[in-house]
Amino acid sequence: MSFTLALGDSAPDFALKATDGQTYSLEQFASARFLVVFFTCNHCPFVVGSDELTREAAEKFRDQGVQFVGINANSETTHPDDSFEHMVARMEEHKFPWTYLRDDTQETARAYGALRTPHFYIFDEARKLVYTGRGVDNPREASKLTVNNLDNALTELVAGQPVSEPLTNPIGCNVKWDGQDAHWMPAEACDLV
pLDDT tens, position by position, 44-74 = 999 999 999 999 999 999 999 999 999 999 9
Dump pLDDT digits (tens) for 67-121: 999 999 999 998 899 999 999 999 999 999 999 999 999 999 999 999 999 999 9
Domains of the chain: 9-174 (3.40.30.10)
Sequence-distant (6+) residues with CB within 8 A of 46 are: 116, 117, 118, 139, 140, 171, 172, 173
